[in-house]
Chain A
Amino acid sequence: MSAHQADDPGSRLETFSGNRGLQIEEPLIFEQDSPGHCGVDLPEPAPFHSRLGGLERQGPIGLPGLSEPQIVRHFTRLSQKNYAIDAGLYPLGSCTMKHNPRLNEKLARLPGLADIHPLQPVSTVPGALELIDTLAHWLKALTGMPAIALSPAAGAHGELCGMMCIRAALEARGDRRTRVLVPESAHGTNPATAAACGYTVDPIPANATGRVDRAALEAKLGSDVAALMLTNPNTCGLFEREILEIAEAVHRAGAFFYCDGANFNAIVGRVRPADLGIDCMHLNLHKTFSTPHGGGGPGSGPVALSATLAPFAPLPWIVHGPEDLEFIEHKTGAAENSLGRLKGFHGQMGMFVRALAYMMSHGSDGLRQVAEDAVLNANYLRTRLADDLSLSFPGPCMHEVLFDDGFLKDTGVTTLDFAKALIDEGYHPMTMYFPLIVHGAMLIEPTETESRASLDQFVDVVKALAAAARSGDAARFRAAPVHTPRRRLDETTAARKPVLRWRPEPVQREAAE
Chain B
Amino acid sequence: MSLLRYTKDHEWVRLDGDIAVVGITDYAQSQLGDVVYVELPEIGRQVEQGKEAAVVESVKAASEVYAPVSGEVTEVNDTLAADPAKVNADPMGEGWFLKLRLAHPRELDGLLDEDAYKRFVEDQH
Contact = CB atoms under 8 A, between A and B. Distances in A.
Interface residues of B, number: 10
A491 B37 CA distance: 13
Main secondary structure of the interface of A (DSSP, over half): helix
A433 B59 CA distance: 14
A394 to B, nearest CB: 28
Nearest to B61: A433
Contacts of B37: 495-496
Contacts of B59: 491-492, 495
B68 interface: no
B36 interface: yes
Contacts of B57: 495
Interface of A: 433, 491-492, 495-496
Interface in B31-71: 33-34, 36-37, 57-60
Contact of A496 (B33, B60, B84): B84
Contacts of A491: 59
Interface in B18-35: 33-34
Contacts of B33: 492
12 contacts: A433-B60, A492-B33, A492-B34, A492-B36, A492-B58, A492-B59, A495-B36, A495-B57, A495-B59, A496-B36, A496-B84, A496-B85
Q: Rank and list the top 9 A-B pairs by shortest CB-CB distance, nearest first.
A: A495-B36, A492-B34, A491-B59, A496-B36, A495-B59, A492-B59, A496-B84, A492-B36, A495-B37
Nearest to B37: A495
A491 B34 CA distance: 10
Residue among B34, B57, B85 with max Cβ neighbours from chain A (10 Å): B34
A492 B34 CA distance: 6
A34 B58 CA distance: 41
A492 B87 CA distance: 13
A410 to B, nearest CB: 14
Contacts of B85: 496
A496 B82 CA distance: 8
B58 to A, nearest CB: 8
A433 B36 CA distance: 20
Interface string B68-99: 00000000000000001100000000000000
Given A492-B33, A495-B36, 13 more contacts: A433-B60, A491-B59, A492-B34, A492-B36, A492-B58, A492-B59, A495-B37, A495-B57, A495-B59, A496-B34, A496-B36, A496-B37, A496-B85
